[in-house]
Amino acid sequence: MDKERYHRQLIIPEFGEAGQAKLTNAKALIVGVGGLGSPVAFYLAAAGIGTIGLLDKDIIDVSNLQRQILHSTSRLGTAKVKSGEQVLKDLNPEINIITYEIQLDDKNIRQIIEGFDIVIAAVDNLETRYLLNRVCIKMGIALVEGGVFNWDGTVHTIIKGQGPCYNCLYPEVKTTPRVPGVIGPIVGLVGSFQAMEVIKFVLGKGELLTDRMLLIDGFNSAVTEIKVKINDQCPVCSNKN
């Protein structure tokens, strides 16, 4: 381990070399290598999370660059996972990057997420959120949710038994996909909170957002939280099912 690289986190009381070793052994999968996935990937790679999976089927489009800070104009047309891999390996050659240039679906999800300790939902569609929630609950894998809309963002961590799942909070409904507006820094804020959740989860220290949800109001510069509760009738996480 490169102690000099991690010096500023090694001297944090809750961290130390034992904490760094936990990060080195951790495996985190980032689903969506866009606006939210960019800061998550940067911070997890820089912190030394030993194995990072990047999953995204898209290539870089010029309209992504207003907020997807992992990518750049010189790599327009490149697969986002390849662009991400290049940047992260350059940032921290000590870590492993696994890339999945595919669309996550019912058939491939189990095989992909098996072996990861934690999954970060950094996606822009409800279908993938519900799919990740269902399968992570079933497989007992922690899931860090993040969402953005215009100036607003939310963060919530889902661990079975410790708080509600995505379906408890938003019962599954069919909706027509829409493209939300988004100001660049809000994905930076939400993604940074998501990365923080991952680091705390791996360390086993600090308070996770499992029974509360963080609400970030960028327009008024206000961060608040609401308590969230398990739905006993939830078809996904309730033990009755």
Q: List residues binding Zn ion (CB under 5 A).
A: 165, 167-168, 234, 236-237
In sequence order, what are the beta bridge partners of 149?
152
Q: CA-CA distance, 29 to 116, in Å (whole number)?
A: 6
Three-state DSSP state, 195: helix
Least Å distance, CB 155 to Zn ion, is 18
Residues forming a β-bridge with 216: 153, 223
Which residue lies nearer to Zn ion by CB, 82 or 212?
Answer: 212
Question: Residue 144 Cβ, how far from Zn ion at the closest point, in Å?
Answer: 16
Q: Nearer Cβ to Zn ion, position 217 or 232?
A: 232
Looking at the Cβ atoms of 165 and 203, the one nearer to Zn ion is 165
β-partners of residue 222 are 217
Pairing of strands 118-121, 212-217: unpaired
CB of 168 to Zn ion, least distance (A): 3
Residue number with CB closer to Zn ion (105 or 232)? 232
Between 175 and 239, CB nearer to Zn ion? 239
- The radius of gyration of the chain from alpha carbons, rounded to an integer in Å, stands at 17
- Least distance (Å) from Zn ion to the CB of residue 240? 11
Question: With b meaning 16 or more CB within 10 Å and e meaning fewer, what string describes 196-220?
Answer: bbbbbbbbeeeebbbbbbbebebee
| Cβ 201 vs Cβ 142: under 8 Å | yes
Shortest distance, position 167 Cβ to Zn ion, whole Å: 5
